[in-house]
Amino acid sequence: MQAERQRIADALPAYDIGEVLGRGGWGVVFAGHHRQLDRSVAIKQLPTAAAADVAVRRRFTAEARVLASLDHPHVVPVYDFVEREDLCLLVMELLPGGTLRERATTTGFAATDAVAVCLACAAGLNAAHVRGVLHRDVKPENMLFGASGTVKVTDFGIAKVLGGADTMLTRAGDVVGTPSYVAPEQVRGGELSPATDVYALATMLYELLSGVLPFTADGDVMSLLFKHAYEAPVPLRDVAPDVPAEVAAVVMRGLATDPAERYPTAEAFGVALAEAGTRAWGAHWLSADGMPVVLGAERIVAPTRGATPPAPAPAGPAASPPPATAPPPATAPPPATGTAARPAVTAGPAPVREQTPAAVPAPERDPARPAGEEPAEEEEPPRRRPAVVAVVVVLVLLLAVLAVWLLPRVLTVYGAPAGGPGGDPPAVTAT
């Protein structure tokens, strides 16, 4: 290992190479430190055999370029990469908060947190999808927490780099990726799309909410792959009855065997999840536990105390949840434009928000003002109008009466003929 560390140090002279952070099926991850920038990093080394393959290295370069251009709060930033001889190194942000798998098996997640984490992952995945990058290996081991508790998607495109073809099986018959989260079309060598990552994300959420996977096969990988490809998953509420029906319906649609029956994009899946969460747990659900979820320009950190929740969110993709075993066609409601869960945010009371530095502020209400107070001022003028008209009419009538009473007296004083209108006031004529 010392020799390996030295090889990496030679390839990355600006960095000190530290301990091994972890090992996966596709290589080793080292801690590192950029001396001049004083920045801690994680360095992923692809397996030597893979790195020696020219085709793998070409794909690695192509993917690294796209990854480096991704800038999303829920995607691990890539700082550097090196491809030389039989070394392929990816330098990325150090995420010291552990993996989603580790958290799930130690502290576990409340249902709201599980959904919030998946919402964040959906936002990160969507950012890559719109750049034409599929993840292909979404699983709890590839979701890591940063120092501030923000979850980030890692290992984008690595399955493609190593697997090459659009199937999980390599020519040698090995499985590239993780069979428990593999989408049916990945097993069958079908066309992959964002719905492929949606399937894996729905599997991940199913597992977080229930503690079990939708398919199991006692370690028999081929049997497990067959089930993913051709069988319907066990309905989520059969294994986790406490999961709200709205949320379970979204998860089950994400697990549809036919990709055309799933949510077509990670964004559509996120929107449906956010709306289902709002219906199940109320408008505060996303901010109540403080799970950082960055959606577009805003980071939700806490609810506003005393805010009056507005009316429930308008019905969306999950408004009429499909039966778990017969998901509706994907021609159902199109994804909303914008970021994955904006409906949940705008549907809820104004949470305390932090603007992310690079973001364009969203054209939303004043965050300091609770949502329920907003329309009051604008509706006030129409209610005042009838009262104003009544006061004016009364004033006009009073003026008319006064004029009728005063006129004869004024005429008398200025020499109007006696017997004229109003009579002859004695006090004046006596003098």
Segment 279 to 318, residues that bind Mg ion, using CB under 5 A? none
What's the CA gap between 55 and 171, in Å, rounded? 14
DSSP label at residue 152 = E
Whether 174 sits among the annotated catalytic residues: the reply is no
Q: What are phi and psi of 122, to 5 degrees?
A: -60, -40
Q: Which of 53, 137, 155, 197 is catalytic?
A: 137
Among 12, 95, 234, 345, binds ligand ATP (CB under 6 A): 95
Segment 133 to 152, residues that bind Mg ion, using CB under 5 A? 142
Stretch that binds Mg ion, among 20-28, 47-55, 196-204, 276-284 (CB under 5 A): 20-28
Helix or strand or coil: residue 188?
helix
> Quick one: which of 87, 83, 84, 45 has its CA closest to 65?
83
Quote the tokens at residue 375: 């329309």
Longest Cα pair distance anywhere in the chain, in angstroms? Answer: 132
**Does residue 267 belong to the site contacting ligand ATP (CB under 6 A)?**
no
Stretch that binds ligand ATP, among 9-17, 91-99, 110-118, 168-176 (CB under 6 A): 91-99
Stretch that binds ligand ATP, among 104-112, 140-148, 281-289, 368-376 (CB under 6 A): 140-148
Residue type, 316: G
287 interface partner picked from Mg ion, ligand ATP, none, CB below 5 to 8 A per type: none
Task: Choose between 141 and 261: whose C-beta lies nearer to ligand ATP.
Answer: 141
**Which residue intervals of 12-110 are DSSP H helices?**
48-51, 54-69, 100-106
**x/- letters, 96..135, toward ligand ATP (CB under 6 A):** ---x------------------------------------
**Does residue 371 belong to the site contacting ligand ATP (CB under 6 A)?**
no
Does 152 show up as a binding residue in the annotation?
A: no
Residues in the chain: 431
What's the CA gap between 75 and 154, in Å, rounded? 6
Determine the number of helices (DSSP H) and then strands (DSSP E) in the chain: 16, 10
> Quick one: which of 237, 245, 267, 236 has its CA closest to 130?
267
Catalogue the active-site residues: 137
Task: Catalog residues that contact Mg ion under the rule CB under 5 A.
Answer: 24, 142, 155
Annotated binding-site members? 44
Task: Catalog residues that contact ligand ATP under the rule CB under 6 A.
Answer: 21-27, 29, 42, 76, 92-95, 99, 141-142, 144, 154-155, 178
